[in-house]
Amino acid sequence: MTIVPKGYLFAVAAAGFKKADRNDLGLILSSGPAVAAGVFTTNRFQAAPVLVCKGILAESPVARAILVNSGQANACTGEEGLVNCRATLEMIARAARVEPSEVLPASTGVIGAQLKMDLWGPAALKLAGSLGRATAMDVAKAMMTTDSFPKLAAKSVQLSGGEVRVLGMCKGAGMICPTMATMLGFVICDADVDPRAWREMLSFCADRSFNALTVDGDTSTNDTVIALANGASRVRAESKADLDALRQCLLSVCQELSYRIVQDAEGGTKVAHIHVRGAKSAQQAEAAARAVGNSPLVKTALFGCDPNWGRIIAALGRSGADFDPDQVVLTIGGVLVFEKGQPSPEDLDALLAPSMRHQDVRIELTIGQGRGAFTLLASDLSKRYVEINADYRT
């Protein structure tokens, strides 16, 4: 049974944005004002809901609700898209009996189309009727697009004043490569926490979870992660020990969700855990990991269970990271593959075959004696990925 934080209700509705009789609108409503935090796409073409949501958070540290729809991205829709987004917030706010400025929007779908505004009024009424009857899982399902399964994670943590709960949900399978987050993700918590601490906490956790994965090297126009903490547990997170414990709980939820995104990559069959250490800085370690994780040649080798380690070394070499090639050590699945500028003399194809058949493939690169390190989750690249994205609109 999913652990649900206190003081939240859920609602879903089948608006018909893309398919009839499929829930494609979801609402998460807090019983009272909740401290709100958000991280967003760094794509220069930011969708209307991203711009509106950022504006709301800039004006107030608290919110009451998260509104999400699938089937309509409302991205690259100009001023009309912004007007329509704000109009949907007014409709939903009336239905939920909150203020429009207390509702944080997020959308996912095809870029370029305006919202089907004629469908939003009836959908708002359906949403009101569903409030309190739906579950967190229902909302997670309503925001799916090419996802093959809903993604939920929940944890509880004992603070000095008692237990608090954290629940997260996300969607994402393609167009995944963050410089913030990389999909839609929502986290709710019942801790009482300072707004500034909560925002810093989400940023910290996003950098180590949603910012540390890639499927295809593409950053979306709509990427959004929103976190609410409503204090309904009546447990205050204030001391350093309590804040550290809450941050670790939040990080655990975010990292579990991140893993599930890569696990569910469009057409994906592998999750590569690419760990780079010994770099001169964390930024150089990240550059090295991303060069490997985003390489089509590395990704196709993973799909084919081909232990073609040369593709990893070649990707590292063009990453821009500063290192001495003779200091590089590569292991795959714990097997030493490359060091001192040359491959291991062992029969690597035979030794690596078992690791390459696993869903989780661990690639470790030591590139020097520095303190910089970074771990990236990356999917493989399959024939199915090409089929899904070649036929996405047609």
- Correct CATH for 8-263 of 3.60.70.12, 3.20.20.70, 3.40.50.2300, 2.40.50.1070: 3.60.70.12
Largest CA distance in the chain: 70
Q: Give the per-residue pLDDT at 1.
A: 64
Q: Give the per-residue pLDDT at 107.
A: 94
Q: What is the pLDDT of residues 307-353, one digit of tens each?
A: 999 999 999 999 999 999 999 999 999 999 999 999 999 999 999 99
**Which residues does the annotation mark as catalytic?**
182
d(CA 231, CA 136): 19
d(CA 21, CA 238): 46
d(CA 137, CA 25): 13
Answer yes or no: same fold for 8-263 and 271-390.
Answer: no
CB proximity list for 97: less than 8 A, separation 6 or greater: none
Is there a contact between 169 and 150 (Cβ–Cβ < 8 Å)? yes
- Correct CATH for 271-390 of 3.40.50.300, 3.10.20.340, 3.40.50.261, 3.50.50.60: 3.10.20.340
- Structure tokens belonging to residue 351: 């030794």
Is there a contact between 54 and 38 (Cβ–Cβ < 8 Å)? yes
Written as one string, the DSSP assignment of 103-127 is EEEEEES-TTPPP-GGGHHHHHHHH
Per domain, the residue ranges of the chain are 8-263, 271-390
- Cβ atoms within 10 A of the Cβ of 190, count? 26
Residue carrying the six token digits 């004043």: 161
> Is residue 257 within a helix (H) or strand (E), and if so which, with residue range?
helix 240-263
Is there a contact between 235 and 191 (Cβ–Cβ < 8 Å)? yes
Is there a contact between 72 and 107 (Cβ–Cβ < 8 Å)? yes
pLDDT < 50: residue spans in the chain: 180-182
d(CA 302, CA 310): 13
Q: Give the per-residue pLDDT at 181.
A: 45
How far CA 384 is from CA of 44, 265, 348, 391, in Å, comes to 29, 10, 28, 11
d(CA 271, CA 299): 10
Q: What is the pLDDT of residues 260-291, one digit of tens each?
A: 988 887 778 999 999 999 999 999 999 999 99
